Amino acid sequence: MIDIQGVSKSFPGVKALDDVSFTIEAGQVHGLVGENGAGKSTLIKILSGIHTEYSGTISIEGRPIRFASVHDAQKQGVATIFQELTIVPELSVAENIFLGREPVKLGGLINWQEMRERSVEALSFLDVPLSPKTIVGTLSIANQQIVEISKSLVLNSKIIIMDEPTSSLTEHEVKQLFLLIGRLREKGITILYVSHKLEEIFEICDTVSVFRDGKHVGTKKKTETDRDDIVKMMVGRSLQMLYPERTGKRQDLLLSVKGLTREGEFEDVTFDLYGGEIIGFAGLIGAGRTEMAKTLFGTVPFDSGEIILHGSKKLRFRHPSEALATGVAYLSEDRKGEGLMLQLTIKENMAVSILKKIAPRFFVKNKMEREIINSYAEQFKVKMVSMDQVVESLSGGNQQKVIITRLLMTESQVFIFDEPTRGIDVGAKYEIYKIMNDLTMNGKGIIFISSELPEVLGISDRIFCMREGKLVKVFDNAEADPEKIMHVLTGGEVA
């Protein structure tokens, strides 16, 4: 039995886990569900020994524990199968299973025979026909995962945590995995199963715990709940007060996307964006929304389909500079990697996309640059001491505003905001929603990608649901509700 009492964990600007208390019964498969950012991964990282700084207590079998490292957690019986597998592809199955704790003979030589025998033992318990001599890199993802599970068996783990284990498996492989999980349960091993696919949770778990906004919402036995109930727990929250009133009015057609396809990423995406409109794109991670957005911006090419601006102009950008010059701006979900130049100043970061304007004949017009930046910074309440301050020293919300200001200065017509509020506090979120609304008042169109359903519902006029690269359903804001959308996103029937 794992008892979690009052566990909290904060990151700069965000409370990732807020006073979480619940119990995981021994010998069960316990599901952990919640939207992206609900706190599931933070909890797993604490339980697996990655995050060592947190408040509250965790005890296993009544004994309080506090892991110092992943290695420490493994020694004490908690093994984690991460989404990103930790196998070494060049080594054999047996070498991977015993990596870092190879059995040795007298004199320090590796006891290959024991290693092979015990590997065979673990693999035959799982009933998988794998040879311990096979090189792991040649195996399928599913079999590599089995190698990781064998690793935890050899460690005599009492608790195995699986983080989205089916995300790269085929349907058949998922069935195999579930059989295997059943065998582990029979052996008395407790399994913490993290997933956002509700069918899987209901198929394999005995108990489900729901997380939302870093809080534990509830724990229910599978027999006492149903899909709708869980979805309600995942998304239910008051939408008032968190979002500004939508005052932009729908105007002329701005952007038409027809049958846009990129092999393996998204397929046949068709939609219209009008001036004065915010259209939300809801979906789970891997639904293809970001790839689609990058195609519109020109950083990722597309295979077929059309992008038409103002009803006539066909677009196929080869470089972001073309997109920005034409009036299509993109805010990346990856603020540090594809947004900020952290060691440069606020001024340099903001002006980088309008260098042609502030330096029309090669030389930077310093006065003009400062005036433009000052007026924008004032209008959008960027909190800074000076524009010569290094961007890295700003809070997450203000960093995000620096990039948004950069995009606004380009005076584009179409704005694509990809997860604009990720990792920033509630107050700054509100200000970003407000900037979005103000943009639509000036006739701009916004494509808003977010994995947080409440904000998609809170600010979008229409909501497009993407699943596995396809647009599966469109809701008008009036007819949409979180349960309906979550139902569509998690693979429910589309009515």
Partner 1 sequence: MSTAYQPDLQKNNLKQYFQFRELPILLYIIVIIIIFSTMIDGFFTVKSFENISRQITTIGIVSVGMTLVILTGGIDLSVGAILSFAINIGGQGIVLGWPIWLVYTVMLALGVLLGFINGFLITRVAVPALIITLGTMNIYRGITMVITDGIYITGIPSSFQTVGYGFIPLVFFVIVLAFFIFMTLQTRFGRNLFAIGEGGQSALYSGVPVNKYKIISYVLSGFLSALAGIILVGKSGFIQPQAGMGYEMSAIAAVVIGGTSIFGGSGSILGTFLGSVFMGIIIAGLTMLAINPFWIGFVTGVLIIFAIALDSLRQRRKG
Using the rule CB under 8 A, which residue among 179, 285, 355, 426 binds partner 1? 355
For residue 12, state whether it binds partner 1 (rule: CB under 8 A). Answer: no
Q: Which of 36, 251, 299, 477 binds partner 1 (CB under 8 A)?
A: 299
Helices of type H across 224-330: 227-235, 289-297, 320-326
CA distance 252 to 268: 24
**Cα gap 99→242, rounded to integer Å:** 49
CA distances from residue 381 to 77, 121, 292, 346, 432 in whole angstroms, order as listed: 50, 64, 31, 13, 10
Distance between CA 356 and CA 174 in Å, rounded?
53
Work out how close the CB of 426 gets to partner 1 at its nearest, in angstroms, rounded to a whole number. Answer: 13
Cα–Cα distance, 367 to 379 (Å, whole number): 18
Candidate list 22, 266, 281, 330; residue touching partner 1; CB under 8 A: 330
Which residues have CB under 8 Å from 479's CB, separation 6+?
none
Ramachandran class of 362: left when φ > 0, alpha when ψ lies in -120 to 50, beta otherwise:
left
Instruction: Report the SS3 class of residue 212.
Output: strand
Residue 123: both structure tokens together: 């693999």
Nearest-angstrom CA–CA distance, 473 and 284? 14
Closer of 110 and 368 to partner 1 (Cβ) = 368
**Shortest spacing between CB 286 and partner 1, in angstroms:** 20
* Candidate residues 372, 394, 447, 485; the one interacting with partner 1 per rule CB under 8 A: 394
Q: How far is the CB of 186 from partner 1 (least distance, A)?
A: 47
Size of the site for partner 1 (CB under 8 A): 51
Nearer to partner 1, 221 or 381 (CB): 381
Please identify, using beta-carbon distances, which residue of 155 and 387 lies nearer to partner 1. 387
Please pick, from the candidates 44, 159, 255, 384, the single residue that binds partner 1 as defined by CB under 8 A.
Answer: 384
| DSSP designation for 492 | P
Angle, CA of 445, 451 and 455, to the nearest 5°: 60
Contact between 406 and partner 1 (CB under 8 A)? yes
- Of 56-64, 146-154, 252-260, 391-399, the segment contacting partner 1 by CB under 8 A is 391-399
Site map (CB under 8 A) of partner 1, residues 240-279, x = contact:
----------------------------------------
- Give the contact letters, 359-378, x = binds to partner 1 (CB under 8 A), - = no: x--xxx-xx--xx--x--xx
Residues in contact with partner 1 by the rule CB under 8 A: 297, 299, 319-321, 323-325, 330, 332, 334, 336-344, 348, 351-353, 355-356, 359, 362-364, 366-367, 370-371, 374, 377-378, 381-388, 392, 394-395, 398, 406, 410
